[in-house]
Amino acid sequence: MTGGDGVVAGVQLASASESGLEVIEAIAHQGTRQLIIARPGLFTFTLTVRLRDGGQRCKQVRVRVEE
Residue at 3 is within a domain = no
Residue at 59 is within a domain = yes
Among 23, 25, 24, 26, CA closest to 9: 26
Residue at 44 is within a domain = yes
Q: Distance (Å, rounded) from C-alpha 56 to C-alpha 50?
A: 5
pLDDT at 64: 95
Residue at 34 is within a domain = yes
Please give the C-alpha separations between residue 64 and each of 1, 8, 20, 22, 61, in angstroms, as whole numbers: 24, 30, 15, 16, 10
Beta bridge partners of 44: 16, 62
Residue at 28 is within a domain = yes
The residue segments making up the domain with residue 34 are 8-65
pLDDT surpassing 80 at residue 2: no
Mean model confidence pLDDT for the chain: 88
What average pLDDT score do residues 14-30 get? 90
pLDDT at 42: 96
Q: For residue range 32-42, list pLDDT tens digits in order.
A: 888 888 889 99
Residue at 1 is within a domain = no
Phi, psi (degrees; rounded to nearest 5) at 43: -120, 140
Domains of the chain: total: 1
